[in-house]
Amino acid sequence: MLRDKRFLKFNLLFLTFSLGAAFIAIYYRTGFNLLNLQADSRIPPVMIWNIFLALLAYDFAYGLVKVKNFWLQLIFAFLAFLFYPNTFYMLTDSLHFGDWLQAGHLTFYGTKPMIYFMLLCVAIFFGVALGLETMRIVLKRFFDNKFFAWAFIIIMSFLGSIGIFVGRFQEIRLNSWDIFINPIGTVVKLFAVIQPTNFVFLASFTLAQIFLIILFWEGNHAVKREP
């Protein structure tokens, strides 16, 4: 594991991002005040936490493809599946751009807004990259057949969209670990999301994930096929 450069790079990137975001938060002093209602002051700590959850999905998926023990594979598969929605969930953090606009803070003439703006952009791209990489390593290891690979991508994208929905909206606001705290209640809430009123959200995020995964997956195959 420690010899895998790709694995190490993703984890080192998270460490670098976290240290940089923490430094920025401390520099501006209000950054770690999670109770502060000003939108941009919550960006550094929230982004560190969200990226950490996305990284867990990647790390567990990596463990899944590396371990040989069947029971360990089941555990890693379950945990990777559980935390996977946190990767593309990062796309919903773009709503903070709207918070800035409403508060009149989104201006490129100020140093702090610009730094937070770029920090948020990097965090969103990083989270999506972790999701794409998670799917890549699982597809590469377990799905030689393209039909089954497509089926897996579609199912995971749809289930991921449900996870994103329940994690984003305040009236539900579930977290990955709620499945351990209240498994029955969590499953009931997950199934309750599948209804016509939520169709646009679920369909949009499902299609977006499928498109990005296929684009990334085919791009990797194309690179390997080049002489």
HEC-encoded secondary structure of the chain:
CCCCHHHHHHHHHHHHHHHHHHHHHHHCCCCCCCCCCCHHHHHHHHHHHHHHHHHHHHHHHHHHHHCCCHHHHHHHHHHHHHHCHHHHHHHHHHHHHHHHHHHCCCCCCCHHHHHHHHHHHHHHHHHHHHHHHHHHHHHHHHCCCHHHHHHHHHHHHHHHHHHHHHHHCCCCCCCCCHHHHCHHHHHHHHHHHCCHHHHHHHHHHHHHHHHHHHHHHHHHHHHHHCC
Structural domain that includes position 98: 5-225
Cβ pair 90, 18 in contact under 8 A: no
- CB contact set of 178 (below 8 Å; sequence gap of 6+): 185, 186
> What is the pLDDT, as a whole number, of residue 223?
47
Give the number of domains in the chain: 1
**What does the pLDDT profile of the chain (227 residues) look like in tens digits?**
546 788 888 888 898 988 888 887 777 665 544 334 354 556 677 788 889 999 999 999 999 998 989 999 999 999 999 999 999 999 988 877 766 555 555 555 667 777 777 888 899 999 999 999 999 999 988 888 888 999 999 999 999 999 898 888 755 677 777 777 877 877 877 878 888 888 999 999 999 999 999 888 766 655 454 44
Here the tokens at position 95 are 């709503």
- What region does 38 belong to: left with phi over 0, alpha with psi -120 to 50, or beta? beta
Cβ pair 130, 136 in contact under 8 A: no
Burial class (CB in 10 A: 0-12, 13-18, 19+), 209: buried
> What is the pLDDT, as a whole number, of residue 158?
94
